[in-house]
Structure formats: structure tokens, C-alpha cells
Amino acid sequence: AYKRFSELLPKEERENAFSARVPKSQILTLPELRANPFQHRICRVFSTSETRDDSMSFEDFLDMLSVFSDSATLDIKSHYAFRIFDFDDDGTLDREDLEQLVNCLTGQGEESQLSSAEMEQLIHNILEESDIDKDGTINLAEFQHVVSRSPDFARCAGLPR
């Protein structure tokens, strides 16, 4: 992990990799993230940058790798997936978050974009299935309940493993 992290830094910064921050642009060159539709959200969620530039310290990088490792528990994976899918960082998945999530998964191109009616029906179905307390949003507990019933969650959620 340290070798991979330090290789993302310019040569002159590699000897101080423990105290360096890798810019988001370099993190996005990782093969595991390059084609991931949630790459920007992954950087945002794992970065502890005070300037909110989504750069990563070695510790941030380790956290990301450990969550996406095969040995991470479903609880840990689902917690971070929820945070990644919570685009507005308000602690719930509302209609806007779900629409962004669907758009990320289906692609943003004209040919793959859902019609308004299709999107509305899909979001309705997701909420019908997941919104246990019927408040119009999905909280972390509701999300984890749904995930617990899906053995293929990590593979199907578009998250690196």
C-alpha cells in the first residue's frame, strides 16, 4: 500500500510520503478508480483534506484500500457505500441522491439516460422497497437492512473490491 501511494507522488516527495498528500487527479489514475462511476465521490468521502480538495494522505489511502478489500465486513462496506451515495452529505438518501446514483450507474449519455417517467418509477420502486419508516428517504439503517439481503452487494454496487 505504501509503495502504491508513494508512486502517485512526484519523485522529489516520495521520501516524505507519510506526511504528503496525493492530489485527487493522481488518485483518479488508479486502475481501480479510473472507470468507476463514483470515483469523485470516493475521493470526497475518504479525503480528510481541510481544504476539501479531495487529496489523500497515506492514512486516507489506507482507509480506502481497507474498505474496498475483500476482508472488509459488509457493515463497513455498506457504511461507506451509503456515504458515497449520499451526494449532498446530509445523512439520508433522498430523491435527488437516488437520481444521481441511478445516473452514475446508467451513464450520463443521451442514449443511456432514463426518461423522467422511468426515473420516477425507479425511484418510487427503490423507496417502496427500502424506506421502512416511509419518510421519503433512506437512512443508514434502512440502507444496511436492504444490503444485508443482497449477497452480491459489493460486486453490483459499482464499488472496487
76-123 tens-digit pLDDT: 999 999 999 999 999 999 999 999 999 999 886 667 788 999 999 999
Number of compact structural domains in the chain: 2
Domain C-terminal end among 44, 68, 92: 68
Q: Is residue 61 domain-shared with residue 117, that is, in the same domain?
A: no
- The amino acid present at 100, given as its one-letter code, is Q
| pLDDT more than 70, % of the chain | 92
Indicate if 78 and 132 belong to the same structural domain: yes
With contact defined as beta carbons under 8 Å apart, do 123 and 95 qualify?
A: yes
Residue 131: give its domain's CATH number.
1.10.238.10
Q: Can you give the residue range of the structural domain that contains 53?
A: 1-68
Measured CA to CA in angstroms, residue 93 lies from 14, 71, 102, 134 at distances of 39, 26, 12, 13
Same domain, 61 and 79: no
pTM above 0.75, yes or no: yes
Do 81 and 64 lie in one domain? The reply is: no
Q: Which of these, 25, 150, 35, 28, lies nearest to 81 by C-alpha position?
A: 150
Same domain, 78 and 153: yes
Count Cβ neighbours within 10 Å for each residue of 142-153 and write b for 16 or more, e otherwise: bbbebbeeeeeb
- Same domain assignment for residues 83 and 55: no
Residues 26 and 94 in one domain: no
- Among positive and negative, which fits the CA dihedral 102, 108, 111, 117? positive
- What is the average pLDDT value for the chain, to the nearest integer? 92
Domain match, 143 and 122 both:
yes
pLDDT at 158: 46
pLDDT of residue 107: 80
Q: Are residues 144 and 103 in the same domain?
A: yes
Domain boundary among 25, 51, 68: 68
Q: Domain check: are 46 and 121 in the same one?
A: no
Q: Could you tell me if 53 and 92 lie in one domain?
A: no
- Under-70 pLDDT residues of the chain: 108-110, 153-161
The C-alpha cell of 159 is what? 464499488
Long-range contacts of 87-92 (CB under 8 A, 24+ apart): 87/41, 91/139, 91/140, 92/137, 92/138, 92/139
